[in-house]
Amino acid sequence: MKKLISMTLSIVLCFSLLTGMSVLANDDITVTLDGKALTFDVAPQIIGGSTMVPMRAIFEALGATVNWDAATKSITAKQGTKGVKLIVDSPIFMTFTYDASGDVVDNSTKAITIGALPTIVNNRTLVPVRAVSEGLGADVKWDGTTRTVTITSSKADATKTDASTTGSAVKSNVAKYAGYDDGTPMVPDFGDCFGVKCASKSLSDDHVGDQYVYNIKDLPTGYLATYKKVLEDNGFHYYKTTTMELYTNGDSIVGINIKDDYIIIYLVQGVTVGE
Protein backbone atom coordinates (compact mmCIF):
# COMPACT_ATOMS: atom_id res chain seq x y z
CA MET A 1 0.00 0.00 0.00
CA LYS A 2 2.81 2.39 0.92
CA LYS A 3 4.57 1.55 -2.36
CA LEU A 4 1.37 2.30 -4.29
CA ILE A 5 0.93 5.66 -2.54
CA SER A 6 4.59 6.49 -3.17
CA MET A 7 4.29 5.67 -6.87
CA THR A 8 1.09 7.70 -7.15
CA LEU A 9 2.70 10.73 -5.50
CA SER A 10 5.72 10.40 -7.78
CA ILE A 11 3.52 10.34 -10.88
CA VAL A 12 1.53 13.38 -9.65
CA LEU A 13 4.77 15.22 -8.86
CA CYS A 14 6.27 14.48 -12.27
CA PHE A 15 3.08 15.59 -14.01
CA SER A 16 3.07 18.82 -12.01
CA LEU A 17 6.69 19.51 -12.89
CA LEU A 18 6.09 18.84 -16.57
CA THR A 19 3.03 21.07 -16.57
CA GLY A 20 4.97 23.81 -14.81
CA MET A 21 7.80 23.54 -17.32
CA SER A 22 5.30 23.85 -20.17
CA VAL A 23 3.78 27.02 -18.73
CA LEU A 24 7.16 28.56 -18.03
CA ALA A 25 8.31 27.76 -21.52
CA ASN A 26 5.34 29.63 -22.95
CA ASP A 27 5.64 32.53 -20.50
CA ASP A 28 9.21 33.36 -21.57
CA ILE A 29 8.24 34.14 -25.18
CA THR A 30 8.87 37.79 -26.00
CA VAL A 31 7.05 39.66 -28.74
CA THR A 32 8.39 43.02 -29.91
CA LEU A 33 6.86 45.51 -32.34
CA ASP A 34 9.16 48.11 -33.91
CA GLY A 35 11.66 47.57 -31.08
CA LYS A 36 9.16 47.76 -28.22
CA ALA A 37 8.20 44.71 -26.14
CA LEU A 38 4.46 44.02 -26.06
CA THR A 39 2.58 42.91 -22.96
CA PHE A 40 -0.41 40.54 -22.94
CA ASP A 41 -2.93 39.56 -20.28
CA VAL A 42 -2.63 35.97 -21.56
CA ALA A 43 0.96 34.94 -22.24
CA PRO A 44 2.04 34.06 -25.80
CA GLN A 45 1.91 30.30 -26.35
CA ILE A 46 3.37 27.95 -28.91
CA ILE A 47 0.56 25.77 -30.24
CA GLY A 48 1.19 23.42 -33.13
CA GLY A 49 4.55 25.04 -33.80
CA SER A 50 3.12 28.58 -34.09
CA THR A 51 3.27 31.44 -31.60
CA MET A 52 -0.24 32.46 -30.58
CA VAL A 53 -1.15 35.77 -28.95
CA PRO A 54 -4.39 37.48 -27.80
CA MET A 55 -6.12 38.87 -30.88
CA ARG A 56 -7.19 42.30 -29.62
CA ALA A 57 -3.81 43.13 -28.09
CA ILE A 58 -1.82 42.31 -31.23
CA PHE A 59 -4.24 43.98 -33.63
CA GLU A 60 -4.43 47.16 -31.57
CA ALA A 61 -0.64 47.24 -31.25
CA LEU A 62 -0.45 47.04 -35.05
CA GLY A 63 -2.83 50.00 -35.29
CA ALA A 64 -5.77 47.96 -36.56
CA THR A 65 -9.42 48.16 -35.57
CA VAL A 66 -10.94 44.82 -34.52
CA ASN A 67 -14.42 43.40 -34.85
CA TRP A 68 -15.46 40.20 -33.05
CA ASP A 69 -18.59 38.39 -34.22
CA ALA A 70 -19.66 36.13 -31.36
CA ALA A 71 -22.28 34.33 -33.46
CA THR A 72 -19.79 33.11 -36.06
CA LYS A 73 -16.70 33.34 -33.82
CA SER A 74 -15.00 35.36 -36.53
CA ILE A 75 -12.40 38.11 -36.19
CA THR A 76 -12.04 40.89 -38.72
CA ALA A 77 -9.26 43.47 -38.46
CA LYS A 78 -8.72 46.59 -40.56
CA GLN A 79 -5.58 48.69 -40.78
CA GLY A 80 -5.73 51.43 -43.38
CA THR A 81 -6.46 49.73 -46.68
CA LYS A 82 -5.54 46.23 -45.46
CA GLY A 83 -7.87 43.74 -43.81
CA VAL A 84 -7.74 40.19 -42.47
CA LYS A 85 -10.36 37.72 -41.25
CA LEU A 86 -10.05 34.56 -39.16
CA ILE A 87 -12.53 32.15 -37.58
CA VAL A 88 -11.95 30.27 -34.33
CA ASP A 89 -10.95 26.63 -34.97
CA SER A 90 -10.85 27.22 -38.74
CA PRO A 91 -7.73 26.95 -40.94
CA ILE A 92 -9.07 29.53 -43.41
CA PHE A 93 -7.25 32.88 -43.27
CA MET A 94 -8.49 35.69 -45.51
CA THR A 95 -6.86 38.96 -46.58
CA PHE A 96 -8.48 41.76 -48.55
CA THR A 97 -8.13 45.42 -49.52
CA TYR A 98 -10.39 48.34 -48.60
CA ASP A 99 -11.06 51.32 -50.85
CA ALA A 100 -11.17 54.96 -49.73
CA SER A 101 -14.80 54.65 -48.65
CA GLY A 102 -14.08 51.63 -46.44
CA ASP A 103 -15.60 49.02 -48.72
CA VAL A 104 -13.79 45.82 -49.72
CA VAL A 105 -12.32 46.12 -53.20
CA ASP A 106 -13.79 43.63 -55.68
CA ASN A 107 -11.63 40.56 -56.34
CA SER A 108 -9.15 41.57 -53.62
CA THR A 109 -10.06 38.76 -51.20
CA LYS A 110 -7.52 35.96 -50.93
CA ALA A 111 -7.95 32.83 -48.80
CA ILE A 112 -5.14 30.58 -47.63
CA THR A 113 -4.92 27.65 -45.23
CA ILE A 114 -2.94 28.09 -42.02
CA GLY A 115 -1.73 25.36 -39.70
CA ALA A 116 -2.29 27.27 -36.46
CA LEU A 117 -6.00 27.60 -35.79
CA PRO A 118 -7.34 30.55 -33.78
CA THR A 119 -8.41 29.23 -30.40
CA ILE A 120 -9.89 30.41 -27.10
CA VAL A 121 -7.74 30.14 -23.95
CA ASN A 122 -8.77 31.66 -20.60
CA ASN A 123 -11.61 33.55 -22.31
CA ARG A 124 -9.15 35.18 -24.73
CA THR A 125 -9.07 34.44 -28.46
CA LEU A 126 -5.52 33.60 -29.51
CA VAL A 127 -4.37 34.10 -33.11
CA PRO A 128 -1.14 33.18 -34.92
CA VAL A 129 1.09 36.22 -34.64
CA ARG A 130 2.94 35.64 -37.91
CA ALA A 131 -0.16 35.22 -40.07
CA VAL A 132 -2.02 38.26 -38.75
CA SER A 133 1.05 40.52 -38.71
CA GLU A 134 2.13 39.61 -42.24
CA GLY A 135 -1.49 39.89 -43.38
CA LEU A 136 -1.37 43.56 -42.34
CA GLY A 137 1.91 44.18 -44.15
CA ALA A 138 4.39 43.67 -41.29
CA ASP A 139 7.60 41.63 -41.36
CA VAL A 140 7.97 38.86 -38.76
CA LYS A 141 11.10 37.06 -37.57
CA TRP A 142 11.50 34.30 -34.94
CA ASP A 143 14.65 33.84 -32.87
CA GLY A 144 14.57 30.35 -31.39
CA THR A 145 17.57 31.02 -29.15
CA THR A 146 16.01 33.94 -27.30
CA ARG A 147 12.45 32.82 -28.02
CA THR A 148 11.62 36.24 -29.43
CA VAL A 149 9.12 37.24 -32.11
CA THR A 150 10.28 40.45 -33.79
CA ILE A 151 7.64 42.36 -35.74
CA THR A 152 8.53 45.30 -37.97
CA SER A 153 5.44 47.17 -39.10
CA SER A 154 4.99 48.59 -42.58
CA LYS A 155 4.87 52.05 -41.01
CA ALA A 156 8.30 51.55 -39.47
CA ASP A 157 9.67 50.37 -42.82
CA ALA A 158 8.26 53.46 -44.52
CA THR A 159 9.83 55.71 -41.90
CA LYS A 160 13.23 54.08 -42.41
CA THR A 161 12.93 54.61 -46.16
CA ASP A 162 12.04 58.26 -45.67
CA ALA A 163 15.00 58.71 -43.32
CA SER A 164 17.47 57.27 -45.80
CA THR A 165 16.22 59.37 -48.70
CA THR A 166 15.41 62.70 -47.06
CA GLY A 167 17.36 62.76 -43.81
CA SER A 168 14.17 63.49 -41.86
CA ALA A 169 11.97 60.47 -41.27
CA VAL A 170 9.32 62.22 -39.23
CA LYS A 171 8.86 65.30 -41.40
CA SER A 172 8.66 63.35 -44.64
CA ASN A 173 6.13 61.03 -43.02
CA VAL A 174 3.86 63.66 -41.47
CA ALA A 175 3.77 65.59 -44.73
CA LYS A 176 1.45 62.86 -45.99
CA TYR A 177 -1.22 63.76 -43.44
CA ALA A 178 -4.08 65.90 -44.75
CA GLY A 179 -5.35 68.96 -42.93
CA TYR A 180 -8.91 69.56 -41.75
CA ASP A 181 -10.34 70.58 -45.10
CA ASP A 182 -13.60 71.93 -43.69
CA GLY A 183 -12.16 74.99 -41.98
CA THR A 184 -8.64 74.53 -40.61
CA PRO A 185 -6.49 73.10 -43.43
CA MET A 186 -3.20 73.92 -41.68
CA VAL A 187 -4.03 71.65 -38.73
CA PRO A 188 -3.08 67.98 -39.31
CA ASP A 189 -6.24 65.89 -39.41
CA PHE A 190 -6.19 63.63 -36.32
CA GLY A 191 -8.28 60.95 -38.04
CA ASP A 192 -6.08 60.95 -41.13
CA CYS A 193 -3.05 60.23 -38.96
CA PHE A 194 -4.57 56.93 -37.85
CA GLY A 195 -6.94 56.06 -40.68
CA VAL A 196 -10.10 56.53 -38.60
CA LYS A 197 -13.20 58.66 -39.00
CA CYS A 198 -14.52 60.95 -36.29
CA ALA A 199 -17.54 59.70 -34.38
CA SER A 200 -19.08 63.18 -34.51
CA LYS A 201 -18.15 66.77 -35.21
CA SER A 202 -19.49 70.23 -34.51
CA LEU A 203 -18.43 73.13 -36.76
CA SER A 204 -18.91 76.84 -36.08
CA ASP A 205 -19.56 79.34 -38.85
CA ASP A 206 -16.24 81.15 -38.43
CA HIS A 207 -14.29 78.05 -37.24
CA VAL A 208 -13.43 79.50 -33.83
CA GLY A 209 -14.77 76.49 -31.95
CA ASP A 210 -14.81 73.38 -34.12
CA GLN A 211 -14.94 70.05 -32.30
CA TYR A 212 -14.06 66.56 -33.59
CA VAL A 213 -14.80 63.51 -31.43
CA TYR A 214 -13.02 60.16 -31.90
CA ASN A 215 -13.65 56.82 -30.22
CA ILE A 216 -10.52 55.72 -28.35
CA LYS A 217 -11.19 52.02 -29.05
CA ASP A 218 -10.60 52.73 -32.76
CA LEU A 219 -7.13 54.12 -32.10
CA PRO A 220 -3.74 52.38 -31.89
CA THR A 221 -1.52 52.26 -28.83
CA GLY A 222 0.47 55.48 -28.41
CA TYR A 223 -1.93 57.58 -30.50
CA LEU A 224 -1.68 60.64 -28.24
CA ALA A 225 2.11 60.89 -28.30
CA THR A 226 2.08 60.30 -32.05
CA TYR A 227 -0.37 63.11 -32.76
CA LYS A 228 1.53 65.53 -30.52
CA LYS A 229 4.67 64.72 -32.49
CA VAL A 230 2.80 65.32 -35.75
CA LEU A 231 1.67 68.73 -34.48
CA GLU A 232 5.18 69.69 -33.39
CA ASP A 233 6.68 68.66 -36.71
CA ASN A 234 4.08 70.75 -38.51
CA GLY A 235 5.07 73.94 -36.66
CA PHE A 236 2.86 73.76 -33.56
CA HIS A 237 4.24 74.25 -30.07
CA TYR A 238 2.84 73.33 -26.69
CA TYR A 239 1.11 75.93 -24.54
CA LYS A 240 0.49 75.07 -20.91
CA THR A 241 -3.03 75.40 -19.51
CA THR A 242 -4.83 74.02 -16.47
CA THR A 243 -7.89 72.79 -18.39
CA MET A 244 -6.49 70.97 -21.44
CA GLU A 245 -3.43 70.59 -23.60
CA LEU A 246 -3.11 73.31 -26.24
CA TYR A 247 -0.89 73.59 -29.30
CA THR A 248 -0.54 76.71 -31.44
CA ASN A 249 1.29 77.67 -34.61
CA GLY A 250 0.66 81.39 -34.26
CA ASP A 251 -2.48 81.25 -36.40
CA SER A 252 -4.53 78.35 -35.06
CA ILE A 253 -5.07 76.61 -31.74
CA VAL A 254 -5.49 72.86 -31.22
CA GLY A 255 -6.94 71.67 -27.93
CA ILE A 256 -6.78 68.01 -26.88
CA ASN A 257 -9.10 66.60 -24.23
CA ILE A 258 -9.94 63.02 -23.21
CA LYS A 259 -13.35 62.29 -21.75
CA ASP A 260 -14.49 58.77 -20.89
CA ASP A 261 -13.98 56.63 -24.02
CA TYR A 262 -13.48 59.55 -26.39
CA ILE A 263 -10.79 62.02 -27.37
CA ILE A 264 -11.97 65.48 -28.39
CA ILE A 265 -9.97 67.74 -30.71
CA TYR A 266 -10.89 71.44 -30.42
CA LEU A 267 -9.84 73.74 -33.26
CA VAL A 268 -9.76 77.52 -33.29
CA GLN A 269 -8.83 79.21 -36.58
CA GLY A 270 -7.30 82.70 -36.80
CA VAL A 271 -6.60 83.01 -33.07
CA THR A 272 -3.43 82.40 -31.09
CA VAL A 273 -2.41 82.31 -27.43
CA GLY A 274 0.13 84.43 -25.64
CA GLU A 275 3.42 83.16 -24.29
Instruction: Please provide the CATH number assigned to the domain covering 27-157.
Output: 3.30.457.10
Single-letter amino acid code for the residue at 218: D
Of residues 16 and 27, more confidently modeled? 27
**pLDDT tens digit string along 207-220?**
677 888 988 888 88
Ordered by start, the domain boundaries in the chain are 27-157, 176-269
Between β-strands 148-152 and 30-33, what pairing exists: parallel, antiparallel or unpaired? parallel
Q: Which segment, 17-21, 72-76, 114-118, 164-168, is predicted with the most confidence on average?
A: 72-76
Alpha carbon distance 179, 172 (integer Å): 15
Confidence of residue 267 (pLDDT cuts 50, 70, 90): confident
Task: Characterise 143 by phi-psi region: left (phi > 0), alpha (psi -120 to 50), beta (else).
Answer: beta
Average pLDDT over residues 199-214: 82
Task: Label residues 211-230 b or e (16+ Cβ within 10 Å = b).
Answer: bbebeeebbbeebeebbbeb
pTM: 0.50
**Residue 13: band (very low, low, confident or very high) from pLDDT cuts 50, 70, 90:** very low
pLDDT for the residue 184? 57
Quote the pLDDT of residue 175: 40
- Distance of alpha carbon 32 from the chain centroid: 13
Q: What is the pLDDT of residues 30-82, one digit of tens each?
A: 999 988 899 888 899 998 888 999 999 999 999 999 999 999 999 999 988 89
- Structure-model confidence comparison of residues 11 and 187, the more confident one: 187
pLDDT at 87 over 90: yes
- What pLDDT shows up at residue 172? 34
The C-alpha atoms of residue 118 and residue 84 are separated, in whole angstroms, by 13
Question: pLDDT tens, 138-189?
Answer: 999 988 888 999 999 876 554 444 434 333 333 334 344 556 655 556 788 8
HSE, side-chain direction, 13 A CA sphere, residue 73: 14
